[in-house]
Amino acid sequence: MKNLILLAFLVFFSGIVTLRAQDAGDKLIGLWEPSNGKARVKIEKIANKYYGKIVWLREPNDPQTGAPKLDKNNSDESMRSVPLKGYRMLKDFVYANGEWNNGTIYDPESGSTYSCVIKAKDDNTLDIRGFVGVKALGRTDVWKRIQVR
Amino acid sequence: MKVLLSFLLYLLCFCVACTESQTITFKTAPITLVASGPLFEGSNTAQGDFSPNIAAFLQQQGLAPSSLQNATLQKVSLVLPDSLHADLVSEITLQLAADQVDMQKVAVLNPVPAGQTQLTLSVAQEQKKIADLLQQNKMLLVADVNLKKDLEADWQATAVLEFLLTIKK
């Protein structure tokens, strides 16, 4: 009987710990602006992963065509008609050990995708590090939270 | 020497025959995509999930589940409930994902033709791990729907996906 109570306690406690970890990860959800101020990215949670898509562009139209900007640098020609506004540039981030990792970041200006890790400096500041292969070979950008009224 | 070469040639033919493959089409049941309202002008996320149950499908065809070699998405059809839903949308981008497989963009329609409720999206030429996705218990469909104006209610569509499966004989 004692063992049963102990087991039930452990199951309950581990459930709480898991829920707390998930809640902590959810602080990534919101609207963010990269340091260059060219775009705003809305981060949302789908299933148990985090994704970010461009919801605002400082220059939404292509100066050459006057039409909304498209993903014209995509290596897959068939996907070059995807609009940049609404583009999912952060994908598949999982929260663990105080950071969001295993994800990727897409640079629409080069058409390149990089491995990426996100760390929260505080509730309103993120360090977004894109890298190739190892984290040391990368670049960090600071994103600021946009307060939505 | 000639005998040895003939033997090797036969062996090669035997190996090629053994690895011969066939293709079959797998079509999903209609999958409902929903973006819960109220929704705002701009990009909104509609989601739906389904269980591919590809092992059962292969067994129905008299094939072993392990015989699946490769899969590609061939066609994506979307049906919108009415022309009001269709006229609200400027573009749609569709992604597939699962717990163990990263999300990938698989289809796009830009622009969405005015007044049409039956849509066929352009499918990506570059596709990865589609067979892995089909072998998951649950696959997630995520549609980025760009709305021309705010919508108080939910936005809904029904999707049917057609996959071409390469089967090892």
Where do we find the tokens 């400082």? A58
B88/chain A closest Cα distance in angstroms: 15
Q: How many Cβ pairs within 8 Å bridge chains A and B?
A: 70
Q: How far apart are CA A11 and CA A17, in angstroms?
A: 10
Question: In A, which residues are within 8 Å of B99 by CB distance?
Answer: 47-48
Chain A residue whose CA is closest to B43: A86
Among candidates B45, B91, B105 on the partner chain, residue whose Cβ is nearest the Cβ of A79: B105
What is the pLDDT averaged over residues B14-38?
84
Q: How far apart are CA A35 and CA A130, in angstroms?
A: 14
Interface test with A, best of B73, B102, B106 (most A CBs within 10 A): B102
Q: Decide if pLDDT at B14 tops 90.
A: no
Where do we find the tokens 């999958």? B31
Average model confidence (pLDDT) across chain B: 90
The pLDDT assigned to A13 comes to 47
The pLDDT assigned to A70 comes to 97
Residues of B contacting chain A (CB within 8 angstroms): 42-43, 45, 47, 91, 93, 95, 97, 99, 102-103, 105, 108, 110, 122-126, 140, 142, 144, 146
The pLDDT assigned to A16 comes to 47
Question: In B, which residues are within 8 Å of A49 by CB distance?
Answer: 97, 103
pLDDT tens profile B100-150: 999 999 999 999 998 899 999 999 999 999 999 999 999 999 999 999 999
pLDDT confidence of B169, banded at 50, 70, 90? confident
Q: Enter the tokens of residue B134.
A: 């089909």
Other C-beta atoms closer than 10 Å to the C-beta of A18 total 10
The pLDDT assigned to B25 comes to 97
pTM over 0.90: no
ipTM of predicted assembly, 2 dp: 0.82
What number of CA atoms fall less than 13 Å from residue B2's CA on the CB side?
0
pLDDT tens profile A103-145: 999 999 999 999 999 999 999 999 999 999 898 889 999 999 9
Q: What does the pLDDT profile of chain A (149 residues) look like in tens digits?
A: 566 555 555 555 455 445 455 589 999 999 999 999 999 999 999 999 999 999 999 999 999 999 999 999 999 999 999 999 999 999 999 999 999 999 999 999 999 999 999 999 999 999 999 999 898 889 999 999 998 76
Q: Does A86 sit within 8 Å of B43, measured CB to CB?
A: yes
Among candidates A55, A76, A87 on the partner chain, residue whose Cβ is nearest the Cβ of B125: A76
A39 touching chain B per CB within 8 A: no
Q: Decide if pLDDT at B161 tops 50.
A: yes
Q: In Å, how far from its chain's centre is CA B72? A: 7
The pLDDT assigned to A2 comes to 60
The pLDDT assigned to B84 comes to 76
Interface test with A, best of B34, B36, B40, B43 (most A CBs within 10 A): B43
Question: In A, which residues are within 8 Å of B97 by CB distance?
Answer: 46-47, 49, 92
Q: How far apart are CA A53 and CA B160, in angstroms?
A: 25
